[in-house]
Amino acid sequence: MLIVRRPWLELDIPVTPPFPAYLPYGSVGERRAELRCGLMPRELLGRILDHFRAALPNEAAAFVLWNENERSFSIHYPQIDDATPSRVTYRSPILAPDQHLICDIHSHAHGAAFFSATDDADDAHSTKIALVLGRLGQPEGPAIASRLCAGGMFLPLPRSPFSGDDDAA
Ligand SMILES: [Zn+2]
Protein backbone atom coordinates (compact mmCIF):
# COMPACT_ATOMS: atom_id res chain seq x y z
CA MET A 1 0.00 0.00 0.00
CA LEU A 2 1.26 3.45 -0.87
CA ILE A 3 0.19 5.82 1.90
CA VAL A 4 0.65 9.52 1.16
CA ARG A 5 -0.19 12.27 3.64
CA ARG A 6 -0.02 15.93 2.72
CA PRO A 7 -1.77 18.78 4.51
CA TRP A 8 -4.19 18.75 1.55
CA LEU A 9 -4.29 15.04 0.69
CA GLU A 10 -4.90 11.60 2.22
CA LEU A 11 -4.09 8.84 -0.23
CA ASP A 12 -4.08 5.07 0.37
CA ILE A 13 -3.45 3.09 -2.77
CA PRO A 14 -2.55 -0.61 -3.22
CA VAL A 15 0.67 -1.15 -5.13
CA THR A 16 0.42 -4.95 -5.24
CA PRO A 17 -2.60 -7.27 -5.49
CA PRO A 18 -3.69 -8.82 -2.17
CA PHE A 19 -1.98 -12.13 -1.35
CA PRO A 20 -3.33 -15.01 0.78
CA ALA A 21 -0.88 -14.85 3.68
CA TYR A 22 -1.31 -14.17 7.37
CA LEU A 23 -0.90 -10.40 7.83
CA PRO A 24 -0.04 -9.59 11.47
CA TYR A 25 -1.20 -5.97 11.27
CA GLY A 26 -4.66 -6.65 9.92
CA SER A 27 -6.37 -5.47 6.78
CA VAL A 28 -4.75 -2.77 4.67
CA GLY A 29 -8.15 -1.19 4.17
CA GLU A 30 -9.78 0.27 1.10
CA ARG A 31 -8.15 2.45 -1.48
CA ARG A 32 -9.08 6.08 -1.02
CA ALA A 33 -8.11 9.57 -2.10
CA GLU A 34 -9.46 12.34 0.11
CA LEU A 35 -8.87 16.02 -0.47
CA ARG A 36 -8.27 17.38 3.04
CA CYS A 37 -8.42 20.87 1.54
CA GLY A 38 -11.88 20.19 0.10
CA LEU A 39 -12.90 20.64 -3.51
CA MET A 40 -11.48 23.56 -5.45
CA PRO A 41 -14.02 26.35 -6.04
CA ARG A 42 -15.54 25.98 -9.50
CA GLU A 43 -15.23 29.73 -10.02
CA LEU A 44 -11.43 29.27 -10.23
CA LEU A 45 -11.86 26.94 -13.20
CA GLY A 46 -13.93 29.60 -14.98
CA ARG A 47 -11.22 32.22 -14.44
CA ILE A 48 -8.50 29.83 -15.64
CA LEU A 49 -10.54 28.96 -18.75
CA ASP A 50 -10.88 32.69 -19.51
CA HIS A 51 -7.11 33.10 -19.11
CA PHE A 52 -6.39 30.11 -21.37
CA ARG A 53 -8.83 31.34 -24.06
CA ALA A 54 -7.16 34.76 -23.99
CA ALA A 55 -3.81 33.03 -24.68
CA LEU A 56 -5.09 31.24 -27.81
CA PRO A 57 -3.78 30.08 -30.24
CA ASN A 58 -0.97 29.30 -27.78
CA GLU A 59 -0.96 26.94 -24.85
CA ALA A 60 -0.93 28.41 -21.33
CA ALA A 61 -0.61 27.28 -17.72
CA ALA A 62 -1.94 27.93 -14.23
CA PHE A 63 -1.55 26.52 -10.74
CA VAL A 64 -4.10 26.30 -7.96
CA LEU A 65 -2.45 26.92 -4.58
CA TRP A 66 -3.95 26.28 -1.18
CA ASN A 67 -3.09 28.23 1.95
CA GLU A 68 -3.14 25.82 4.87
CA ASN A 69 -3.57 28.48 7.59
CA GLU A 70 -6.31 30.44 5.87
CA ARG A 71 -7.74 27.31 4.20
CA SER A 72 -8.11 29.39 1.03
CA PHE A 73 -7.42 28.67 -2.63
CA SER A 74 -5.75 30.99 -5.11
CA ILE A 75 -4.60 30.95 -8.73
CA HIS A 76 -0.95 31.42 -9.63
CA TYR A 77 -0.10 32.13 -13.27
CA PRO A 78 3.51 31.08 -13.81
CA GLN A 79 6.13 32.90 -15.79
CA ILE A 80 5.94 31.33 -19.26
CA ASP A 81 9.36 30.58 -20.73
CA ASP A 82 7.98 29.56 -24.12
CA ALA A 83 4.48 29.05 -25.56
CA THR A 84 3.31 27.90 -28.99
CA PRO A 85 0.06 26.25 -30.18
CA SER A 86 1.60 22.86 -29.30
CA ARG A 87 3.93 23.52 -26.39
CA VAL A 88 4.19 25.51 -23.18
CA THR A 89 7.20 25.68 -20.89
CA TYR A 90 6.79 27.04 -17.38
CA ARG A 91 8.14 26.67 -13.86
CA SER A 92 6.48 25.67 -10.62
CA PRO A 93 6.04 28.54 -8.17
CA ILE A 94 8.19 29.09 -5.11
CA LEU A 95 5.79 28.47 -2.25
CA ALA A 96 5.45 30.19 1.10
CA PRO A 97 5.71 27.80 4.09
CA ASP A 98 1.93 27.61 4.53
CA GLN A 99 1.21 27.28 0.80
CA HIS A 100 0.70 24.04 -1.13
CA LEU A 101 0.59 23.38 -4.83
CA ILE A 102 -2.65 21.44 -5.27
CA CYS A 103 -3.24 21.47 -8.98
CA ASP A 104 -1.12 21.98 -12.11
CA ILE A 105 -3.21 22.96 -15.13
CA HIS A 106 -2.10 23.57 -18.70
CA SER A 107 -3.97 24.05 -21.91
CA HIS A 108 -3.64 22.17 -25.15
CA ALA A 109 -5.16 25.21 -26.86
CA HIS A 110 -7.37 24.00 -29.76
CA GLY A 111 -6.01 20.43 -29.43
CA ALA A 112 -7.44 17.43 -27.62
CA ALA A 113 -7.19 17.10 -23.82
CA PHE A 114 -4.78 14.26 -22.98
CA PHE A 115 -1.51 13.72 -21.14
CA SER A 116 1.39 13.64 -23.58
CA ALA A 117 4.67 11.78 -23.07
CA THR A 118 6.16 15.18 -22.15
CA ASP A 119 3.42 15.67 -19.55
CA ASP A 120 4.12 12.19 -18.12
CA ALA A 121 7.81 13.01 -17.75
CA ASP A 122 7.03 16.40 -16.17
CA ASP A 123 4.55 14.91 -13.66
CA ALA A 124 6.51 11.80 -12.62
CA HIS A 125 8.06 13.30 -9.48
CA SER A 126 5.17 15.38 -8.15
CA THR A 127 2.31 14.94 -5.75
CA LYS A 128 -0.50 17.01 -7.27
CA ILE A 129 -3.66 16.99 -9.28
CA ALA A 130 -2.87 17.52 -12.97
CA LEU A 131 -5.39 18.81 -15.50
CA VAL A 132 -5.18 19.39 -19.24
CA LEU A 133 -7.81 21.61 -20.83
CA GLY A 134 -8.26 21.22 -24.58
CA ARG A 135 -10.65 22.14 -27.39
CA LEU A 136 -10.65 25.73 -26.16
CA GLY A 137 -12.50 28.24 -28.29
CA GLN A 138 -14.48 25.49 -29.99
CA PRO A 139 -18.24 25.05 -29.81
CA GLU A 140 -18.00 21.57 -28.30
CA GLY A 141 -15.23 22.57 -25.87
CA PRO A 142 -13.68 22.64 -23.43
CA ALA A 143 -12.47 19.08 -22.86
CA ILE A 144 -10.72 18.13 -19.61
CA ALA A 145 -8.29 15.33 -18.81
CA SER A 146 -7.44 14.82 -15.12
CA ARG A 147 -5.30 12.66 -12.88
CA LEU A 148 -3.73 12.50 -9.45
CA CYS A 149 0.07 12.22 -9.52
CA ALA A 150 1.65 10.49 -6.50
CA GLY A 151 4.54 8.12 -5.93
CA GLY A 152 5.36 8.10 -9.64
CA MET A 153 1.85 6.84 -10.42
CA PHE A 154 -0.94 8.51 -12.33
CA LEU A 155 -4.28 7.74 -10.72
CA PRO A 156 -7.75 8.47 -12.06
CA LEU A 157 -9.72 10.98 -10.00
CA PRO A 158 -12.89 9.45 -8.59
CA ARG A 159 -14.79 12.70 -9.29
CA SER A 160 -14.28 16.26 -10.42
CA PRO A 161 -11.90 18.12 -8.07
CA PHE A 162 -14.06 21.24 -8.43
CA SER A 163 -17.07 22.05 -6.31
CA GLY A 164 -20.52 22.19 -7.80
CA ASP A 165 -19.92 19.46 -10.34
CA ASP A 166 -20.73 15.82 -9.78
CA ASP A 167 -19.43 14.80 -13.19
CA ALA A 168 -15.99 13.21 -13.40
CA ALA A 169 -13.61 15.84 -14.73
ZN1 LIG B 1 0.24 18.64 -22.27
**In this structure, is residue 126 part of a structural domain?**
yes
Give the domain range for residue 144. Answer: 38-155
| Distance (Å) from CA 32 to ligand 1 centroid | 26
Q: What per-residue confidence (pLDDT) applies to 169?
A: 45
Q: Is 7 helix (H, G, I), strand (E, B) or coil?
A: coil
Q: What per-residue confidence (pLDDT) applies to 168?
A: 45
Q: Helix, strand, coil % (nearest 5) of the chain?
A: 10, 40, 50
Look at the chain and report how many structural domains it folds into.
1
- Provide φ and ψ at 138, rounded to 5°: -115, 150
Is 80 exceeded by the pLDDT of residue 159? yes
141, 134 Cβ separation under 8 angstroms? yes
Mean pLDDT of all residues belonging to the chain = 92
**In this structure, is residue 168 part of a structural domain?**
no
Which H/E stretch holds residue 90?
A: strand 87-90
58, 83 Cβ separation under 8 angstroms? yes
Higher pLDDT, 136 or 15: 136
Sign of CA dihedral 87, 132, 119, 99: positive
| Distance (Å) from CA 115 to ligand 1 centroid | 5
pLDDT in tens, 41-92: 999 999 999 999 999 999 999 999 999 999 999 999 999 999 999 999 999 9
CATH of the domain at 103: 3.40.140.10
| Distance (Å) from CA 69 to ligand 1 centroid | 32
Q: What per-residue confidence (pLDDT) applies to 165?
A: 65
**In this structure, is residue 23 part of a structural domain?**
no
| Distance (Å) from CA 134 to ligand 1 centroid | 9
Query: How many whole angstroms separate alpha carbon 16 and alpha carbon 140?
Result: 40
